[in-house]
Chains A and B, each alone.
Chain A
C-alpha cells in the first residue's frame, strides 16, 4: 500500500511551471471529438438521430393532451404522507424543518459545497437553454406553448451568457460557491410559487366533488411553509458557520452525528406518531426497570473498565451475554431482555475502552445515554398513537418508504459488520453461525422473508407481546439486508493487508482494538462503493412493502390513484412521477458516495 506512494513527498519542486492546458474553441472541440474520422462522424450522426427519436417519443408521451397529469398534482399529499390528518399537518412540517436544520448545519460544519468557476456555470446555463429549445421544438405543443417554452429558453440563454461574460471581466477567474447557486435556484423555485399560476389542486375524500381545482397560484398552506423552510435552511446554514468558527471541531461533529442518529426515531415515534403516554404505567414499570439497569450497569461497567480487572471481567461479560440469551427462554418483558443484551455488548467492549477515571466516567455516561434512549424508544413504540388514520399505519406514501429505508440501513449496518467480523473470525462457532445465517438468508427470496415476518412471526410471539406489522417487516428487511451487507463488508476486510494486522499485533493491540481502529476503518473505506450500491438497493426494495398491504409510494401511484373514480387509468403518469422521485433520491445517494470516497481517500494519496 505504501510503496507506490513513497515518491510523492519532498515538498513542491521548484522549476518551470507546467504548460497551461488550453481549452479548444467549440468548433474545434466538436471536430476533434465527434467528427475525427469517417467512422466517428457516422457514429455521431446515427446516435444523434436515435437520441432525438427517443426524446421525441418521451416528450410526446409526457405532453400528450390525454395524459391526466392533474391526477398527480391533485394527490401530492397522498404521495408523500398519505392520509396524515390535515389538522395535525404541522407535525409533518416540523419534522421536515428539523431535518433541514440538521442538513444545513452539517453542510456548514463539514464545509460541503465547492466553488464553481463562473465561466463553467455560464456554459452550463447555455447548455440548459439549448435543451429547453430542443424541448420546445420536439414536443407536440400548440403554437402558443412553443412560443412560451422558446421564450423561457431565451431567458436562460441570456442569463447564461451574462454570467459567462461577467466571468471574463477583470482578469482573474471568478468563481461562485455551489451552495450559492443552490440557494438562488431554490429561492427562484419558491418565489415562483407566489407568482406563477400553477393552480391549486387537492383531493378531499369527504366532499363532493372530491377534486378541488382552482386557478391562480398554489394554496397558502403550500407556499407559506416552503418559504419558511427555505428561510430556515439559510438561517441554519449561517448558524452552522458560526458554530464551525466558535466551537471545537470534533465534539461538534460527534454531537451532530448523534443528533442525526436520534432524528429518525424521535421524529417518527414522538413527533409524527404522537404517542399518548400512560404515565401510571411509565412510573410503575418502565422507570424502575430503567433505574435498575442504569444503576447496576454503571457499577458493573465502572468495575470492568478498570485496567486492573483483567480476566475476571471477561468472564463476567460472557456471563451477562449468556444470561441475556437465556432471558428469551423465559416469559418476561421485552425491555428487560433487550437491556440485558445491550449491557452484555457494553461489558464485552469494556476492556477496549478501559483507562483512567475520565475514560471510565465517559464510558459509563455513554452507557446511561444509550440505555436512556433505548428505554424511551421501547416505551414510545409500545404506546398507542393518537393520530387517527384509516388503515394500519399512521403514515404512508413516500414517508413510509423513507422511514423503512432509513431504519433498515441504520440497523443493518451494525448487524452486517458484526456478521462479517464473525465470518472472518478465528472462532469456529461464530464463523459457522455467521456463514449459515448468511448463506440461508441469501438463498431465500426477499418476498418470502417479508411474508414470513408479517404473517408468521406474530403467531410465534409469546402471549402479551405485540409487534406492529411495519416493525415486523423492518426486522425482515434488516435481516435480509445485513446478510448481503456482511458479504460486501467482508470483501473490504479482506483487502486489509497482512502487514496491517501484523503491525497492530506487534504493538500489542488486542483483537478488538485491532478490529476497531485498524481493520474496520480501512476495510469499510474500500467497501464504500458496494455499500452505497446496497443502500440504493434497499431504498428501492422498500416498494415490496405493497405486497403485505402497506401503502408505500409505489403502491399509491400504481393502485390507489388510478383507482379514484376521477382519475381512472392514470397509472402511467403516476408511475413516471414515482420513478422520478426514486431516481432523485438514489442519484443523490450515489453522488454522496462519490464525495465520501474522495474525502476518505485523502490520506492515501
Chain B
C-alpha cells in the first residue's frame, strides 16, 4: 500500500472485480438501540480492492453499519465476516479485525495531547511492535503522502480541519490496513478544505485499497466508487454500479433522493 502509482489509472469504470475475493461479508445484520431498529437485515459483499460509497438520508443507519464492521458498534443479529474472520465476542478476533481495518471519523478524533508524529506512530509501535525508528520513517512517508510532512512536530489543535483529517488518514494507514472505512470524513470540514481530503482519498482508491465510504459528496461517489449503496430506515434500498445508480436508478425512493440532492 505504500505504492503510489495507481494500478487502475482510468478509474472505476473499467474495473472488473468479479474474480476478486470477498473482503467484507454482511449477512442479515440487524441492530437495535433500545426499541429503535437502526439496522434491519443488511446484507452485502464487498470485494478486495473495491470502493463502495454508502448514501442515504440522516438516520438511515449508514454510520451504524460501517461502525459495526470494526465492532465499534455491536450487531445483534446476523453475521459479519471481515477478511475471513468472523466478528464475535471473542476479543482476539476483534483485535485482529481492528488491526486490519483502518477507520477515519467525522470528527477526526486525533489524540490532542500527542504531536502529529506521535499520533501516527503510537499504534505501529505499541500494537504492531515496530521499532521506533522504523515507525517514524514510515510515518514521515505517510505524512508526505497526505501532503503535510512539515507539520509533524505540531499538535492537532494547531492544524486546520482538513489537515487534521489528512493526519487521521495517515494514522489509519500507518497500521497497514487491508480495508479503510470512512465515516463521513468531510462532513465537519469547511468547503475549501473538503477537496484536499477528497484528493487524498482518491489517490488511496487508485492505489488499490478496499474502501467503504459514507459520504454526501456526490462528485466523489461518481468519480471513484465502483458500487453505491443507498440506505433508508436501516435497510439497503438499492445497490448498483455507479453508472447505473446515477443514470438509471431502479427504486422510486432513490430517484427522489437523487432529485433532491443533484
Contacts and interface: CB of A to CB of B under 8 A. Distances in A.
Interface string A298-322: 0000000001000100000000000
A20 interface: no
Nearest to B72: A502
Interface string A305-348: 00100010000000000000000000000000000000000000
Nearest to B96: A508
B74 interface: no
Interface in A351-378: 352, 354-356, 358-359
Interface residues of A, number: 40
A521 B109 contact: no
Of B92, B157, B171, the most chain A CB neighbours within 10 A belong to: B157
Interface string A490-519: 000000010110111111111001000110
Interface in B186-225: 188, 190
Of B92, B101, B102, B156, the most chain A CB neighbours within 10 A belong to: B156
Of B99, B110, B123, the most chain A CB neighbours within 10 A belong to: B123
Nearest to B125: A355
B169 to A, nearest CB: 12
Given A506-B172, A507-B175, A603-B155, A2 B108 contact: yes
B241 interface: no
A502 B63 CA distance: 13
Interface stretch (A3-11, A571-579, A582-590): A3-11
A404 B108 CA distance: 45
B72 A505 contact: yes
A525 interface: yes
Interface in B132-182: 155-161, 163-164, 171-172, 175
Interface string A160-188: 00000000000000000000000000000
Contacts of A500: 109, 111
A513 B129 CA distance: 12
A279 interface: no
A218 B66 CA distance: 78
B80 to A, nearest CB: 16
A522 B112 contact: yes
A6 B127 contact: no
Given A505-B72, A508-B98, A603 B112 contact: yes
Given A5-B157, A506-B103, A603-B155, A356 B175 contact: no
Nearest to B71: A505
B129 A521 contact: no
A95 B160 CA distance: 51
Interface string B85-118: 0000000100100110111010111111111000
A605 B126 contact: no
Given A2-B112, A517-B122, A507 B171 contact: yes
B112 A356 contact: no
A1 interface: yes
B129 A6 contact: no
B157 A507 contact: no
B160 A10 contact: yes
A518 B110 CA distance: 10
A203 to B, nearest CB: 53
Contacts of B103: 502-503, 506
B98 A502 contact: no
B157 A8 contact: yes
Of A2, A358, A521, A604, the most chain B CB neighbours within 10 A belong to: A2
B70 interface: yes
B161 A6 contact: yes
A505 B122 contact: no
Interface in A3-39: 3, 5-10
Contacts of A499: 105, 107, 109
A602 B160 CA distance: 17
Nearest to A525: B113
B9 interface: no
Nearest to A4: B157
Contacts of B172: 506-507
Given A1-B112, A508-B175, A9 B160 contact: yes
A400 to B, nearest CB: 37
B131 interface: yes
A2 B113 contact: no
A152 B32 CA distance: 79
A508 B158 contact: no
B98 to A, nearest CB: 4
B49 to A, nearest CB: 21
Contact of B98 (A354, A355, A506): A506
A75 B171 CA distance: 63
Contact of B123 (A5, A354, A509, A602): A509
Given A502-B105, A603-B112, A605-B157, A356 B126 contact: no
A508 B127 contact: yes
Given A9-B163, A10-B160, A509 B127 contact: yes
Contacts of B72: 502, 505-506
A510 B95 contact: yes
B112 A517 contact: no
Contacts of B122: 507, 517
B195 to A, nearest CB: 16
A3 B161 contact: yes
A521 B114 CA distance: 10
Given A506-B172, A508-B127, A6 B160 contact: yes
Contacts of B157: 2, 5, 8, 603-605
Interface in A25-79: none
B93 to A, nearest CB: 12
Contacts of B110: 2, 503
Contact of B155 (A497, A525, A604): A604
A603 B129 CA distance: 26
Nearest to A507: B123
A517 B126 contact: yes
A503 B114 CA distance: 13
B90 to A, nearest CB: 11
Contacts of A509: 123, 126-127
Contacts of B109: 497, 499-500, 502-503
A507 B112 contact: no
A412 B158 CA distance: 35
A521 B158 contact: no
A356 B129 contact: yes
Given A8-B158, A9-B163, A509-B127, A604 B112 contact: yes
B126 A352 contact: yes
A572 to B, nearest CB: 49
B181 to A, nearest CB: 8
B152 to A, nearest CB: 14
A167 to B, nearest CB: 34
Contacts of A3: 107, 161, 188
A461 to B, nearest CB: 41
A311 B92 CA distance: 9
B138 to A, nearest CB: 14
A605 B155 CA distance: 9
Given A6-B161, A508-B175, A517-B126, A522 B113 contact: yes
B164 A2 contact: yes
Sort A-B residue pairs by CB-CB distance and give the 4 closest, nearest first.
A603-B155, A508-B99, A503-B109, A507-B123
Interface of A: 1-3, 5-10, 307, 311, 352, 354-356, 358-359, 497, 499-500, 502-510, 513, 517-518, 521-522, 525, 600, 602-605
Given A499-B109, A507-B99, 20 more contacts: A3-B107, A5-B158, A7-B160, A352-B126, A356-B129, A359-B129, A502-B109, A503-B105, A504-B111, A505-B72, A506-B172, A507-B127, A513-B126, A517-B111, A517-B122, A517-B126, A522-B112, A603-B112, A604-B157, A605-B157
